[in-house]
Structure 1
Amino acid sequence: MAEQAFVTLATNDNYAKGAMVLARSLRNHHTTRKLVVLTGPQVADPCQSVLKKLYDEVRVVDLLDSGDTAHLAMMKRPDLGVTFTKLHCWTLTHYSKCVFMDADTLVVSNIDELFDREELSAAPDPGWPDCFNTGVFVFRPSLETYDKLLQYSAEHGSFDGGDQGVLNGFFSSWSMTDISKHLPFIYNLSSIAIYTYLPAFKQYGGNAKVIHFLGQTKPWSLTFDPEARKIRGGSQDAEASHSSFVLDWWTLYSREVLPLLQEHYGDQPFHSGCVEQEESQDSCAASAPPSLSSEERKERWEQGQADYMGEDSFENIQKKLDAFLK
């Protein structure tokens, strides 16, 4: 029987760090499958070297771009254009079945049972549940499917300018056909959704298997103090309900990924993301984001990009409601 693999995509050095943490989380939870990462040519050589230590296969691929500036502008996410590169995963035909995982996901339990599912199995998107979220999905590599996806993209484009729009268009029967292809939300628990569905998170969050750090704020865009085990970079020290997941990501990164990066970068400077023990705040630390106007915050909320780590955390919203009701 042909081998099976988990597949991810790293288009730049930051997402490469995410892919490194993802690989360690899969290994630490004893996956028996191969690990594959697709990388863009922009990923630096030291990062490529670390990925080769953590993955069974590292494949450099050409970046595909939707060129759909209009829809990407609507989402205020021009960076999503290169996510079309994800379509390359269907060319991995030396594997019989694969599970794709975005580089901003973290595995917190063994998920090898996903290989019992068929193409295209995925969890509903928290913003539009009739669509599946493409952060985690099961697929069968096929050059025929790859060619059809490229043809579909050329003819129909993507309704959101990224891979999620084109894949939902291509696999359009997902929402109304075989329910066995609907993965439970615990396989793609979107961090943004926690505040919208806090009671459900309290009920089911303990069973989470994959955490997906959706939105523009990624774990690697924050700063970690390993001595104090605190996250910096938000308006607060990550006192949000899901801060434990961010801490899990950073703890894994600082212990098992950062030493490899330091080894391969050597004397070359690079952004570690960690505050050194002897420094309270230095050039490696991310500066706090500029404060937003009320109108900008409203736009962020409407786009599903609330500052869930800081000002828009459930705790802060609850405090404001309590003060208003008093």
Structure 2
Amino acid sequence: MTDQAYVTLATNDAYGKGALVLGTSLRNHKTSKRLAVLVTPQVSESMRAVLQKLYDDVRLVDVLDSGDSAHLALLQRPELGVTLTKLHCWTLTHYSKCVFMDADTMVLCNVDELFEREELSAAPDPGWPDCFNSGVFVFRPSIETYEQLLNVCAGKGSFDGGDQGILNHFFNKWSTSDINKHLPFIYNLSSIAIYSYLPAFKQYGADAKVVHFLGKVKPWNFSYNATTKSITGESQELFSLHPDYLTLWWETFTFSVLPLLMEHGVVKESQTGLKAEEVTEAMSHIHLSEPPPPPPISSEERKQKWEQGQADYMGADSFENIQKKLDSFLK
């Protein structure tokens, strides 16, 4: 299918690693589609060379930055401004249909059936379900659409400072017009949703098709010991990502991506603690376990989460617990 492609974006070498894991997962699950990656000038020449080993189409694009510090401050994510560069994907008009996937996603099975969907098909965002999450979406490249999106950027801007605000403003009938454009959440499963609604994860998590490492902390921010298969990092940060998905990402990186990075000098052998010949293609089966319980938080942290609309409605802040607290106070 030379006129259909999965598309991703790398804005630096760190996201290049993510794109390599994503591409490897798509190849491992026998996709019949082409793989395309947009790269900005901040991606090194050596990383681009590695990406060309895996991707059919590596395109250098200019950076589009919203410069919207006020809205980005609300998300506490100033780095999201450059995600507007994602809009370049509509310029890939040599493809008739594409599926965009963020570089911090990873497929768990073949998902080529996504190409049966129409523009703009996406899964709901866990933070505001009337908005779609722009980490995975089906689209049709079009210069006309691209120019209209740029006009929205120049005029109204983005309500969150990033691409998700722009796209939800532009495709503003997604939540009401056509249920067929609502992708099941298993096509964009985030760790945020796993922990906020554990019963649903227990019920449907085994059917997950795409995992999205949503949030500020990414898999490549941690360290991995290939011998012990252990991941190290700040405990609170580790909690934010499901441990088995995180391990799967690191095994894919270590056994399939790292040899390419070492071959092209992006990563030195001395930096890995491994010899090149010790890195094999073997992958072990990962069983998805129930996430560990969240670490206790202070009263002040809990207050801040309430003020930010992040109450733990399925746990400490459930109606039953609130009722008990009220009853105790009234007595």
1:12 to 1:299, Cα distance in 2 relative to 1, 3 A = farther
What CA distance in whole angstroms lies between the structure 1 residues aligned with 2:171 and 2:270?
39
Superposed, 1:1-326 pairs within 5 Å as: 3-235=3-235, 238=238, 242-265=242-265, 269=268, 295=300, 299=304
CA contact (8 A) 2:2 2:95 kept: yes
Q: Distance in 2 between matches of 1:132 and 1:28?
A: 27
Deviations 1:264-291 (A, max 9, x none): 017x75996x5659xxxxxxxxxxxxxx
Tell me how large the CA RMSD over aligned residues is: 2.9
Q: Partner amino acid for 1:197?
A: Y
Deviation at 1:298, TM superposition (A): 5.7
| Counterpart contact for 2:123–2:184, Cα < 8 Å | yes
Q: List, as ranges, runs of 4+ consecutive aligned residues in structure 1 with deviation greater than 3 Å.
A: 236-241, 268-272, 274-277, 292-306, 314-317
TM-score, normalised by the number of residues in structure 2: 0.82
Percentage identity across paired residues of the two chains: 64
Paired AA for residue 160 in structure 1: D
**Shift in alpha-carbon separation, 1:12–1:239, aligned structure 2, 3 A:** closer
C-alpha change, 1:43 and 1:229, in structure 2 (3 Å) is same
State the shift of 1:301 in Å.
7.8
Which of 1 and 2 has greater Rg?
2
Question: What do the CA deviations read for 1:223-280 (whole angstroms, capped 9, x no partner)?
Answer: 11111101101328957882110000000000000010011017x75996x5659xxx
| Number of residues of Structure 1 aligned to a counterpart in Structure 2 | 297
**Residues 238 and 256 of structure 1: is their aligned pair in 2 closer, same or farther, counting only changes over 3 Å?**
same
SS of the aligned residue for 1:119 comes to coil
Q: Check whether the contact 1:52–1:58 (CA below 8 A) recurs between aligned residues.
A: yes
Q: Structure 1: which amino acid aligns with 2:63?
A: L
Q: Distance in 2 between matches of 1:245 and 1:270?
A: 26
**Structure 2 alignment gaps of length 5 or more:** 276-296, 326-331
Letter in 1 for 2:41: P
SS at match of 2:84: helix
Do the aligned partners of 2:123 and 2:136 also contact (CA within 8 Å) in 1? Answer: yes
AA partner of residue 186 (structure 1)? I
CA distances 1:146-171 after superposition (whole Å, capped 9, x unpaired): 00000011111000000000000000
- 5+ residue gaps, structure 1: 278-291, 307-311
